[in-house]
Amino acid sequence: MSADDKPSAEDNLIARYFAPLATDPGALGLSDDAAFIKPPPGCELVLKADAIVGGIHFFPDDPAGAIAAKALRINLSDLAAKGAKPLGFLLSLALPKDIGEPWLGAFAQGLREDIATYKCPLFGGDTVRSPGAIMASVAMFGSVPDGMMVRRSTAKAGDTVFVTGSIGDAALGLGLRNGATWPLSEAQRDHLAQRYLLPLPRSALAETVLHYASAAMDVSDGLVGDLAKLCRVSGVAADIDATRVPLSAAAKAVTAADPAALETALTGGDDYEILCTVPPAKVDRFRVAAMAAKVAVTEIGTITEGEGANFHDAQGAASTFKRASFSHF
């Protein structure tokens, strides 16, 4: 073998850690510089890409497997809100020079576990050197029946507004990581920290969203701001009872001790829950289907004529927020 024929360090890294994860025939064992995929008959592709960066979306000392899972799951969350089933993903990694074999092995294992859980195979990607923070970028593709992708822009006045799971846990978990000292039990602290570390995409609800939601998106930048985005592109308003927004027991303990933390919960982001609107005639069937999917859903308000996402308290007084959502810029 000549010097030019020897595998590069990057080739060896891919062969050792990522090629074993690329089991779909279209991935070609990561031996090519492209891959192929064919959507199921009668379906369209749904495309999504999100990146996470150390120091912004995760802490540099977070477990490597959790970083891998987070990169994958935030994209799965978007697919679920579109009513789409995952087909696979591409992964691009930017790695600092000091990243070693143990980190890469743990990262690959985190990917391996979620690939099996969510049935979302790896098809390829890229690895490059980073002069600073770790970056993991996932480009994901899914499928929906032709013409049925659930959009943000199709909410109608009279629709009921629902959210899945609980809101605010991740933002409060980030607060704990940054030194907040709320009086919580160890179990409550662990719950909030885990929700920030590892999102739980509501993939089990994708089919329900597909058949019953008029509009949907995932909550990634904060409920208040994300609902405002949905209202803006749909040309409607929303009337939301802030007291009905579902909070976990841990989040309730935080807001009881520190009422100002409710704003953090409503605007802080990283929930990765589904926000959707459902026409009145479909509300009962939506609830039944969600129960069958074992995903908790909560009605928090109504879509109305007008503009803006309007939150109010138990007495009907309008809620105001210093910042509606997280923004990188």
Whole-number Cα distances in Å, 305 to 157, 237, 261, 318: 6, 6, 30, 17
Residue type, 233: V
- Taking a C-beta distance cutoff of 8 angstroms, is the pair 201, 84 a contact? no
Cβ neighbours for 126, distance < 8 A, ≥ 6 positions apart: 92, 93
Please identify which residue in the block is written with the tokens 């602290």.
Answer: 189
- Residue 102 burial (C-beta neighbours within 10 Å; 0-12, 13-18, 19+): exposed
**pLDDT score recorded for residue 329:** 40
pTM of this structure: 0.93
Cβ neighbours for 101, distance < 8 A, ≥ 6 positions apart: none
Domains and CATH numbers, the chain: 3-145 (3.30.1330.10), 160-312 (3.90.650.10)
* Coil vs helix vs strand at 164: strand
**pLDDT score recorded for residue 94:** 95
Beta bridge partners of 57: none
Cβ neighbours for 318, distance < 8 A, ≥ 6 positions apart: 310, 311, 312
**pLDDT score recorded for residue 6:** 65
**pLDDT score recorded for residue 4:** 57
Q: Which helix (H) or strand (E) holds 249?
A: helix 249-257
**pLDDT score recorded for residue 33:** 87
The sign one gets for the Cα dihedral 144, 210, 156, 225 is negative
The pLDDT profile of the chain, 329 residues, written as one tens digit per residue, is 444 566 677 788 888 889 899 989 999 998 888 999 989 999 999 999 999 999 999 998 999 999 999 999 999 999 999 999 999 999 999 999 988 899 999 999 999 999 999 999 999 999 898 988 999 999 999 999 999 999 999 999 999 999 999 999 999 999 999 999 999 999 999 999 999 999 999 999 999 999 999 999 999 999 999 999 999 999 999 999 999 999 999 999 999 999 999 999 999 999 999 999 999 999 999 999 999 999 999 999 999 999 999 999 877 888 877 765 555 44
**pLDDT score recorded for residue 42:** 97
Rg of the chain taking only CA atoms, in angstroms: 21
- Taking a C-beta distance cutoff of 8 angstroms, is the pair 208, 275 a contact? no
